[in-house]
A and B are shown apart, each in its own frame.
Chain A
Amino acid sequence: MTVTEPKPDGRLLEVSGAEVRFALGRSAVAGAWLTLGCGQITALLGASGAGKSTLLRAIAGLELLHRGEIRFDGQVWSAPDQHTPPEKRRCGVVFQDYALFPHLNALDNVAFGLREGSRTDRRRAALSRLESVELTHRTQAYPHELSGGEQQRVALARALAIKPDVMLLDEPFSGLDRRLRRDLRGDTADVLRQSGVTTLIVTHDAEEALEIADTIALMQDGRIIQTGAPDTLYLKPSSLTAARLLGDVETFTTRVRDGQAKTALGALPATGFVSDQKVRLMVRPEGVIVDRTDTSGARARISHRQTSTGYARLTCTLENDRRIEARVALSESHKPGDAVRLRFDPAFTHLVCADAD
């Protein structure tokens, strides 16, 4: 991908207490707070129906706000009594189905939003945008002649062509096969970073969010439940829901005794919790250490082994019949029936209040 003009600035997009209501008074977005750092890629991650796409459309000006405010660079874009129309916001949007104009070829699609200069200038600008997504050989192709990946790149080029202040991408990779998705993800992130535009990507795919974003915002039931850097969110989720949005997790509920949270798989210092408080210990499957020679740890038997991409998934049954999932290197020779000891790696373990769902 070629380098395009970087555009660093200090302008923030702020969403404060945004609420979007649909028919029958149902709130799709119910008081969402979010700040997009300039030039950063933020992923909005949540299950389907969490209100992610609605929030994205509200930012683009395609939904009205019933409560709260959306501001860009200090200026109010949306409020219950104020609404800047979408055409005045300079938000580039890549829609889930790309929404390419079927009657225009790739070049004309990209040139659609260009208004300055002569027709030749606009076509030249559109061509250079298509170049940035490596599609100069497909300028004359109509959307139905383009592959899914090519359509996605045209949609990206079209949105970037207007030199937007904010880029919004709604599940931009969901219609593509796994391998293409991976390649395109990297390329898209490169293009976005090079253009230096503040970006929000809506996704329900944790892997995608972790890989592409500088910041992840987790959304559940119309609210942002946690925001942070990918590593922090993965390893220190604030609740069970947050933990599950980013991947599998094993949980143990216990009470704090002597400043520690003790479980069958080991103990963790319970800093910040009072004695006898009910806490939930969460551990990622790759943080469960499986050992045949260890004498400490919980006794378990491997009941199932499944090979996955890059690791083996072990299902271990504890003496009390509880099942625990662990992930080990494929080179490990554990097999079903083996007696093992399990303990957790504190680096992959996190403690939260038991009522933090």
Chain B
Amino acid sequence: MLGLIIPLARLGHHALHAPIARNLMDAAGHSLTLAAISGLAASLLGLTCAYALRSGHKPAIAAARLAGLGYAVPGSVAALGVLVLLGISQSGLDQAWRAMAGNPFPILLNGSVIALIFAYQSRFAAAAIGPSESALARVTPALDMAARTLGAGPGETAWRVHRPLISSGSLLAALLVFVEVLKELPATMILRPFNYDTLAVIAHNYASDERLGEAALPALLITLIALPPMIWIARRLTRQEALR
């Protein structure tokens, strides 16, 4: 009540009495696109890391653990890291392209959606690895062996045993990152392309101008979009607790 309903009511009240920001729908579209792509990519990354951790190969395990560390890094620091990394890649590509084609390589990486998605992955990989790893833990080596001795090849085993057992974990990973990206501000502010606003960015801009009324609607939209996935996640976690 104190944490959700009252603030929501207050925001709603503000939103009703303020003009609607011009680019609100564009920003909502950007937020949804970024969050959806990041969620999908994170679930794939989470799954890859979970398999790497399961493989028992030391370099693979180290890489997967390293990927999870980004969660502890503040968004602005991650953004700077991404800028440096992509800057180096861009100049490398540029040199190679000049050597081959004789003209400069188009600026694809810096200040683009690719940079944003990359930064989100590095920041939120841990949120995706956790659920994927615990889902994959249900697929014991004995289950693999059982499927193989029952006539299923590796592909069929992955489809009939792994997929059903890990799908809800992957969905959880995707939704967690979806919600995180929806709210993310610092990395987005630094890395976004020109005129590419998200709901969090315009809410922040209006709020820092003390125009709280205009800031209310984007904030409310973030909450409304994030709520259904969060309800699903909460129910799932409760069910897991009950099963335990």
Q: Could you list which residues of chain A lie within 8 angstroms of chain B, going by C-beta atoms? A: 57, 60-62, 85-87, 89, 91-93, 95-97, 99-103, 112-113, 115, 144, 158-159, 162
Contact = CB atoms under 8 A, between A and B. Distances in A.
15 contacts: A60-B149, A87-B148, A87-B152, A87-B153, A93-B146, A93-B149, A95-B142, A99-B146, A101-B147, A103-B165, A112-B147, A112-B152, A113-B151, A115-B151, A162-B150
Given A57-B145, A93-B145, A95-B145, A101 B151 contact: no
A62 B152 contact: no
A99 B150 contact: no
A162 B151 contact: yes
A85 B145 contact: no
Task: State the majority secondary structure of interface residues on B.
Answer: helix
Contacts of A57: 145
Contacts of A89: 149
A64 B243 CA distance: 38
A103 B165 CA distance: 7
B160 interface: yes
B165 A102 contact: yes
Nearest to A96: B142
B149 A86 contact: yes
B145 A86 contact: yes
B138 to A, nearest CB: 6
A97 B144 CA distance: 13
B234 interface: no
Contacts of A62: 145, 148-149
A91 B145 CA distance: 11
A60 B164 contact: no
A102 B165 CA distance: 8
A144 B148 CA distance: 22
B148 A85 contact: yes
Contact of B146 (A61, A85, A101, A115): A101
Interface centre among A85, A91, A103, A159 (most CB of B within 10 A): A103
B140 interface: yes
A87 B149 contact: yes
B143 interface: yes
B35 to A, nearest CB: 29
B145 A99 contact: yes
Nearest to B140: A99
B161 interface: yes
Contacts of B138: 102
B142 A99 contact: yes
B145 A112 contact: no
A355 to B, nearest CB: 40
Nearest to B164: A103
Interface in B146-176: 146-153, 160-161, 164-165
B158 to A, nearest CB: 13
Interface in B97-156: 138, 140, 142-143, 145-153
B70 to A, nearest CB: 32
A101 B143 contact: yes
Interface centre among A85, A93, A101, A162 (most CB of B within 10 A): A101
Closest 6 CB pairs of A and B: A113-B150, A99-B142, A99-B146, A86-B148, A93-B149, A103-B164
A86 B138 CA distance: 22
A87 B145 contact: no
Nearest to B145: A62
B143 A112 contact: no
Contact of B150 (A85, A102, A103, A158): A158
Nearest to B149: A93
A57 B145 CA distance: 9
Given A85-B153, A87-B153, A101 B148 contact: no
A60 B145 contact: yes
Contacts of A112: 147, 150, 152, 160
Contacts of A159: 149-150
Contacts of B146: 93, 95, 99-101, 158
Nearest to A94: B146
A152 to B, nearest CB: 14
Contacts of B160: 112
A57 B146 CA distance: 11
A239 B152 CA distance: 43
A96 B152 CA distance: 20
A89 B148 CA distance: 10
Interface centre among B138, B146, B147, B153 (most CB of A within 10 A): B146
Contacts of A86: 145, 148-149
Nearest to B156: A87
